[in-house]
């Protein structure tokens, strides 16, 4: 092992940046060349078919067979013209990554000639072997099949690899009995619910609004590590994070990495990643260093949410592939290194109408500001009502390392509004009356509302510690983990907002029926919401211990681990919410809950096994080897008749090493017993809790002793690349 470490050190320090050549100096020449976007559809489809496809995309109309046939033919012709030989349905099973099943365009004609074919049925629906994807007991392997079905609202694209090109068709994945088995289908359902709920509310202000969609811009944080370093760390390879490693003497204390210069090698990787992303129509825009050494971030321009999520999933694949070319490994884990900053995936979310209005952007008149306030306050009310569910939507074994640690949003959900909007909330609360308002009162209020500045983007007014912050014209959900599929939290967010908007509409209608004008009715309900949801608003430091106490006083929950956090997903309240809005059936909620627990158990189980094997098979032998050296040394000194005092330090070290070895071995054995006990539990929740509370509890103790050994044992024989070595990129 130590050989691997030293080879990695040598290789990584000898690397040169790889020269990347863009297809053209103008991005517009290659942006989206691998996407079957509107431009290509125009070219390959008749006007009528194009129109029908657009309608299906935007209004959700059904696509009839004939149209699908023509679209399939067009897609195939386009893909073959670019050299594609295969096609695949690209989908997002609950494993967390994306899945593909490749089929060839190749077919034999009646005369036995080879032809390229792609039928509408191959476009619209496929039957991958669903048995190998998690389904939470919805189907047992021999029962029914699952199938993938085309999502026309996300364009097909071509994935390039050294061995050829593949046409990828974004699809949803459902079981034969109709239950969803992926991340995309529920999101599409949530967007449908959102549209249904938001349009009637928009109509109070603007009769031209006929559809509402959510927009999303995902900031992606990640770490880079040299591929040879990665290969020399079995823990990174198997679990995505380092299970051991003493803190580097120089970590991020100096904060000199943030916005510092990007190393050339990394820059090459970024340029390459941007080119590949651009070709796929992923509008990557910013790149910079992050807080921790070897941590970086990229962000695209925001898009319609379904597309933004697909693009982020695709981006993670692209990053991984491109990194290999540059002898890097991308670490998307939320906490690859203990003691250093973790990675998140900030979800910048807003709502937008068919008329192009951002509903979370203040306008320049009282009317448009009231519209803004309506969506703004309803979002706050929704997050207040379902804070625990939103918390559950971002929970995972890996994100547990981040939330609640003092460098990421806490596990307590709260919303940051900023000073100006807090003031607006307070004014509405004071001035809107329970009784009918006088014309003077109304005018005064209108004037105030009209004063909300059009641009609220004041950087000094930003709070980086809030999990859910309003940032001028959008909310930023920062608690999402870097490795997560944003679909899930976004499904939850859009669902709770949809549900809230429906309630709002009902309440406002109730007041209007009593003869009160709509503006006043709206204000009354908004005021009520402001009062009701106060507890979720927090402008202070979210990292401090004070907030934990304050949050407790306010009745906000602070669940720091996954198994109990997931409870919020299956409460009566949540199930009612999902059913009411047509997102999940009761059965689907239970199945998903089970899958999430199962995933959690597997993750911790793997970490525990890897931890045990590295400690026993790599660390202890290295420590013994060094200990033997010390023993020899002591014996030699004794032989030549030196007094005890001369080798007392060696004796101390020998004893110290023995102590660490003994504890490590004992704890690894105990941990194995804890796993056995946990595995014997039949109830899946108890099983997961046991892994969380009993098995995981050994991690820090075992790690402590291994990390101590790292500081004692001869550097020459230490098997694992050290933190300093891994995070330094030359």
Residues at the contact surface with Mg ion, assessed by CB under 5 A? 219, 346
Task: Note the residue count of the chain.
Answer: 730
For the CA atoms of 166, 280, 494, 41, the dihedral, rounded to the nearest 10 degrees, stands at -80
Question: Nearest approach, Cβ of 438 to ligand ADP (angstroms)?
Answer: 37
Pick the binder of ligand ADP from 473, 518, 560, 679 (CB under 6 A): 473
Neighbours of 522 (CB within 10 A): 25
- What is the closest distance, in whole angstroms, from the C-beta atom of residue 459 to ligand ADP in the complex? 8
CB 424 within 8 A of CB 373: yes
Which residue in the set 85, 153, 358, 613 belongs to the binding site for ligand ADP (CB under 6 A)? 358
Of 217 and 404, the one with the shorter C-beta distance to ligand ADP is 217
Asked if 299 interacts with ligand ADP (CB under 6 A), we say yes
User: What does 150 bind: Mg ion, ligand ADP, none (CB cut-off 5 to 8 Å by kind)?
Assistant: none
- CB 212, CB 688: distance < 8 Å: no
As a whole number of angstroms, the distance between CA 615 and CA 611 comes to 6
* Interface stretch with ligand ADP, choices 166-174, 295-303, 566-574, 685-693 (CB under 6 A): 295-303
Instruction: Give me the least distance between CB of 481 and Mg ion, in Å please.
Output: 14
Q: What is the 3-state secondary structure (H, E, C) of 433-451?
A: CCCCCCHHHHHHHHHHHHC
Place of tokens 């030359």: 730
Q: Count CA atoms closer than 13 A to 365's CA, side-chain side.
A: 3
Minimum distance, C-beta of residue 219 to Mg ion, in the bound complex (Å): 5
- Contact in structure between 331 and 222 (CB atoms under 8 Å): yes
474 binds ligand ADP (CB under 6 A): yes
Q: Among residues 467 and 563, whose Cβ is nearest to ligand ADP?
A: 467
Measure CA 113 to chain center.
Answer: 47
Nearer to Mg ion, 272 or 297 (CB): 297
286 contacts ligand ADP (rule: CB under 6 A): yes
The yes or no reply on residue 295 touching ligand ADP (CB under 6 A) is no
The residues that bridge with 287 in the sheet, in sequence order, are: 298
Check residue 562 for interaction with ligand ADP (CB under 6 A): no
Identified binder of ligand ADP from the candidate list 98, 120, 180, 215, rule CB under 6 A: 215
491 sits near ligand ADP (criterion: CB under 6 A): no
- Per partner kind, with CB cut-offs from 5 to 8 A, the member of ligand ADP, Mg ion, none near residue 141 is none
The answer to whether residue 463 forms part of the interface with ligand ADP (CB under 6 A) is: no
From the CB of 553, what's the least distance to ligand ADP, in Å? Answer: 30
Rounded-to-5 percentages of helix, strand, coil across the chain: 55, 15, 35
Q: Which stretch binds ligand ADP (CB under 6 A): 202-210, 213-221, 710-718, 720-728?
A: 213-221
In sequence order, which residues have a C-beta less than 8 Å from that of residue 516 and are 6 or more positions away? 436, 524
- The SS3 of residue 232 is coil
Q: Is 301 in the site for ligand ADP (CB under 6 A)?
A: yes
Q: How far is the CB of 357 from Mg ion (least distance, A)?
A: 23
Query: Which one, 216 or 657, has the nearer CB to ligand ADP?
Result: 216
CA-wise closest residue to 342 among 294, 292, 377: 292
Q: Which is nearer to ligand ADP, 352 or 395 (CB)?
A: 352
Furthest C-alpha separation in the chain: 106
> Does residue 115 sit in helix, strand or coil?
strand
Interacting partner of 472 out of Mg ion, ligand ADP, none (Cβ under 5 to 8 A depending on kind): none
Nearer to Mg ion, 219 or 710 (CB): 219
Spatial separation of the C-alpha atoms in residues 311 and 307, rounded to whole Å: 6
Give the DSSP H or E segment for 712: helix 697-712
- For residues 312 to 351, the per-residue mask of contacts with ligand ADP, x marking binding by CB under 6 A and - elsewhere, is ----------------------------------x-xxx-
Parallel, antiparallel or unpaired: strands 284-289 and 468-470 = unpaired
- Nearest distance in Å: CB 306, ligand ADP: 13
State which residue, 133 or 302, has the beta carbon closest to ligand ADP: 302
Closest CA to 537 of 381, 307, 685: 381
Q: Which of 216, 275, 394, 525 binds ligand ADP (CB under 6 A)?
A: 216
DSSP 485-516: -THHHHHHHHHHHHHHHHHHHHHHHHHHHTT-
Name which of ligand ADP, Mg ion, none residue 500 binds, using a CB cut-off of 5 to 8 Å depending on partner kind: none
Query: Per CB under 6 A, does 217 bind ligand ADP?
Result: yes
Strand, helix or coil for residue 151? coil
User: Which residue, 283 or 612, has its beta carbon nearer to ligand ADP?
Assistant: 283
Instruction: Decide whether 219 or 520 has the Cβ nearer to ligand ADP.
Output: 219
Residue number of the CB closest to ligand ADP reads: 217
CA–CA distance, 386 with 497 (Å, rounded to integer) = 10
* 300, 481, 719, 721: residue in contact with ligand ADP (rule CB under 6 A): 300
Pinpoint the alpha helices (H) of 60-183: 65-81, 120-124
Which is closer to ligand ADP, CB of 474 or CB of 603? 474
Taking the complex as a whole, the smallest distance from the CB of residue 358 to ligand ADP amounts, in Å, to 5
Bridge partners (DSSP) listed for residue 102 = 88
Question: CA 204, CA 508: separation in Å to the nearest integer?
Answer: 10
Render 274-331 in DSSP notation, one character per residue. HHHHHHTT--EEEEEE-SSTTEEEEEEPPEEHHHHHHHHHHHHHHHHHHHHHTTEEEE
DSSP state of 19: P
- Measure the CA–CA gap between 689 and 597, rounded to whole angstroms: 9
Residue 350 site contact among Mg ion, ligand ADP, none (CB < 5 to 8 Å, cut-off depends on kind): ligand ADP
Site for ligand ADP contains 302 (CB under 6 A): yes
| Nearer to Mg ion among residue 462 and residue 694 (C-beta) | 462
Return the number of the residue (290 or 607) whose C-beta is nearest Mg ion.
290
Q: Which of 151, 179, 182, 219 binds ligand ADP (CB under 6 A)?
A: 219
CB within 8 Å of 20: residues ≥ 6 apart = 268, 271, 272, 275
Of residues 516-535, which lie at the interface with ligand ADP (CB under 6 A)? none
Angle between the N-to-C axes of helices 366-385 and 487-513, in degrees from 0 to 180, rounded to the nearest 10? 120
CB of 717 to Mg ion, least distance (A): 44
Q: Tokens 């053209």 label which residue?
A: 24
Name the residue number minimizing CB distance to Mg ion: 346
Determine, following the binding rule CB under 6 A, whether residue 405 of this chain makes contact with ligand ADP.
no
> Residue 299 binds which entry of ligand ADP, Mg ion, none, with Cβ cut-offs from 5 to 8 Å by kind?
ligand ADP
- The window from 293-301, 521-529, 639-647, 658-666 that contacts ligand ADP (CB under 6 A) reads 293-301
CB of 494: closest distance to ligand ADP in angstroms?
13
Show the binding pattern over residues 366-395: x = contacts ligand ADP (CB under 6 A), - = does not.
------------------------------
The DSSP call for residue 113 is -
**What DSSP string describes 549-581?**
HHHHHHT-----SHHHHGGGGGSHHHHHHHHHT
Minimum Å gap between C-beta 348 and ligand ADP is: 3
**Which segment (31-39, 216-224, 377-385, 449-457) binds ligand ADP by CB under 6 A?**
216-224
Contact residues: ligand ADP, CB under 6 A: 215-217, 219, 286, 299-302, 346, 348-350, 358, 473-474
């Amino acid at each position: 092992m130590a050989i691997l470490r030293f080879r990695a050190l040598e290789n990584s320090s000898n690397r040169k940046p790889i020269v990347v050549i863009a297809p053209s100096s103008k991005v517009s020449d290659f942006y989206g060349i691998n996407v079957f976007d509107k431009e290509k559809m125009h070219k390959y489809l008749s006007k009528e078919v194009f129109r029908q496809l657009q309608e299906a995309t935007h209004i959700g109309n059904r696509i009839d067979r004939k149209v699908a046939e023509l679209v399939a033919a067009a897609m195939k012709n386009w893909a073959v013209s670019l050299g594609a030989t295969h096609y695949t349905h690209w989908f997002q099973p609950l494993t967390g990554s994306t899945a593909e099943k490749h089929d060839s365009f190749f077919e034999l004609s009646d005369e036995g000639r080879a032809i390229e074919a792609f039928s509408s049925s191959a476009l619209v629906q496929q039957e991958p072997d669903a048995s190998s994807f998690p389904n939470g007991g919805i189907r047992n392997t021999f029962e029914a099949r699952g199938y993938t079905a085309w999502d026309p609202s996300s364009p097909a694209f071509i994935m390039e690899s050294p061995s050829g090109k593949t046409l990828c068709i974004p699809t949803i994945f459902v079981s034969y009995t109709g239950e969803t088995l992926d991340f995309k289908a529920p999101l599409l359902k949530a967007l449908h619910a959102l549209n249904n709920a938001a349009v009637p509310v928009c109509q109070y202000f603007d009769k031209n609004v006929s559809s509402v969609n959510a927009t999303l811009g995902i900031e992606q944080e990640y770490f880079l590590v040299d591929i040879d370093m990665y290969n020399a760390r079995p823990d990174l390879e198997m679990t995505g994070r380092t299970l051991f490693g003493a803190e580097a003497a120089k970590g991020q204390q100096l904060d000199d990495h943030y916005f510092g210069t990007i190393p050339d090698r990394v820059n090459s990787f970024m340029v390459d990643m941007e080119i590949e992303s651009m070709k796929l129509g992923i509008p990557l825009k910013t790149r910079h260093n992050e807080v921790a050494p070897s941590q970086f971030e990229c962000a695209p321009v925001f898009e319609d949410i379904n597309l933004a999520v697909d693009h982020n999933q695709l981006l993670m694949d692209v990053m991984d592939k491109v990194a290999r070319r540059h002898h890097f490994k991308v670490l998307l884990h939320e906490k690859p290194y203990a003691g250093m900053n973790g990675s998140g995936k900030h979800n910048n979310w807003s709502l937008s109408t068919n008329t192009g209005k951002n509903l979370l952007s203040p306008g320049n008149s009282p009317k448009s500001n009231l519209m803004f306030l309506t969506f703004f306050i309803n979002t706050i009310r929704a997050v207040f009502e379902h804070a625990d569910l939103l918390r559950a939507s971002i929970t995972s074994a890996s994100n547990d390392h981040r939330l609640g640690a003092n460098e990421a949003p806490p596990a307590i959900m709260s919303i940051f509004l900023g000073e100006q909007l807090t003031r607006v909330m307070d004014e509405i609360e004071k001035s809107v009356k329970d009784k009918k308002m006088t014309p003077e009162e109304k005018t005064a209020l209108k004037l105030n509302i009209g004063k909300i500045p059009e641009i609220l983007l004041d950087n000094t007014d930003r709070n980086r510690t809030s999990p859910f912050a309003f940032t001028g014209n959008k909310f930023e959900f920062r608690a999402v983990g870097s490795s997560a599929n944003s679909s899930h939290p976004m499904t939850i967010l859009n669902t709770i907002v949809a549900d809230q908007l429906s309630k709002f509409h009902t309440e406002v209608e109730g007041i209007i029926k009593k003869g009160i004008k709509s503006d006043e009715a709206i204000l009354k309900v908004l005021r009520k919401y402001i009062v009701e949801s106060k507890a979720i608003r927090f402008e202070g430091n979210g990292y401090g211990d004070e907030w934990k106490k304050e949050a407790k006083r306010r009745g906000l929950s602070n669940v720091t681990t996954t198994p109990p956090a997931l409870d919020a997903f299956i409460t009566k309240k949540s199930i009612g919410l999902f059913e009411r809005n047509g997102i999940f059936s009761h059965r689907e909620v239970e199945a998903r809950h089970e899958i999430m627990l199962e995933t959690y158990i597997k993750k911790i189980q793997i970490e525990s096994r890897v931890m045990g094997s590295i400690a026993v098979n790599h660390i202890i032998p290295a420590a013994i080897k060094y200990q033997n050296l010390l023993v020899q040394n002591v014996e030699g000194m004794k032989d030549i008749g030196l007094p005890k005092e001369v080798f007392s330090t060696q004796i101390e070290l020998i004893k110290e090493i023995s102590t660490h070895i003994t504890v490590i071995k004992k704890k690894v054995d105990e941990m194995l017993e804890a796993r056995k006990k946990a595995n014997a539990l039949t109830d899946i929740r108890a099983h997961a809790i046991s892994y969380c509370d009993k098995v995981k509890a050994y991690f820090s103790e075992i790690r402590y002793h291994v990390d101590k050994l790292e500081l004692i044992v001869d550097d020459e024989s230490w098997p694992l690349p050290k933190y300093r070595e891994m995070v330094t990129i030359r």
